[in-house]
Amino acid sequence: MRNQTTDVTWRIGDVPVSSRFDDPYFSLENGLEETRHVFLKGNQLPNRFREGFHIAELGFGTGLNFLATVQAWETADVSGKLTFTSFEAYPLERDHMIRALWVFSSAGLRVQELADIWTPAGGHFDLTPTVSLEVILGDARDTIKSWEGRADAWYLDGFSPAKNPELWSPELLANVADRTATGGTFATYTAAGFVRRGLEDAGFDVERVPGFGRKRHMTRGTLAR
């Protein structure tokens, strides 16, 4: 598949919506609080942070999850380095990313720093001396197979399973489990039954827990090995 940027429309001012998947990149209510509830709290972060902690993500999107994680890492004041790897098929153009994130710059996120290094071509970046970002472009069903890393925590943040089923297939979820460190975790905003079953079949202990805002439930789990 040829890597390509994606088109967006805008809702309520500066909430980007994918034209390809007809789905917003983050909650219309409060994208930052959604990230903190689903991906940070769902993976028991920042309590689990340690030197060399590695987070992997399906769907980099606007980079909001990454920046919220960086803020949590820096607030936790953990020694060593955090590595964040994201698999993205349709990266945002820089201008779209900045527009989407700028509303959160008042929350102390490193929006300008990400804007300064971002390119939709992907690659390896050092946001700060203690935070490394890797964006791997292409279809995650292919790229994750050749990835040699092991994640301590996964952010499963593809678009809605009904609109983007490719990022929720049993085969891909099995690959996620294969590339999860012992005792590693995942969190996702979706509570779709077939996603939970796919993660259970892949080897995770899965639980449904309260979601963010109007969403009643989300899913999180720990690798059972």
- pLDDT tens digit sequence for 170-219: 999 999 999 999 999 999 999 999 999 999 999 999 999 999 988 889 99
Q: Is the pLDDT of residue 3 over 50?
A: no
For the chain, the distance separating the N- and C-terminal CA atoms, rounded to the nearest angstrom, is 34
Q: Is the pLDDT of residue 4 over 80?
A: no
pTM attached to this predicted model:
0.92
- State the burial class of residue 9 (Cβ atoms within 10 Å of its Cβ: 0-12, 13-18, 19+): exposed
Mean pLDDT, residues 120-146 taken together: 95
Query: Which pLDDT score is estimated for 72?
Result: 98
Q: Is the pLDDT of residue 1 over 70?
A: no
Q: Which residue has the higher pLDDT, 158 or 179?
A: 179
Q: Is the pLDDT of residue 142 over 70?
A: yes
List the single range of 25-29, 33-37, 193-197 with lowest mean pLDDT. Answer: 25-29
Residue 160 burial (CB count, 10 A):
16
- pLDDT tens digit sequence for 43-89: 999 999 999 999 999 999 999 999 999 999 999 999 999 999 999 99
Q: Using a CB cutoff of 8 Å and minimum separation of 24, what contacts does 22-28 make?
A: 22/163, 23/159, 23/160, 23/163, 23/164, 25/61, 25/62, 25/64, 25/100, 26/61, 26/62, 26/64, 27/212, 27/213
Q: Is the pLDDT of residue 133 over 90?
A: yes
CA–CA dist 177, 182 (Å, integer): 10
Residues of the chain above pLDDT 90, percent: 73
Mean pLDDT of the chain: 91
Query: Which pLDDT score is estimated for 13?
Result: 66
Q: Provide the 8-state DSSP code for 90.
A: S
Mean pLDDT, residues 116-136 taken together: 95
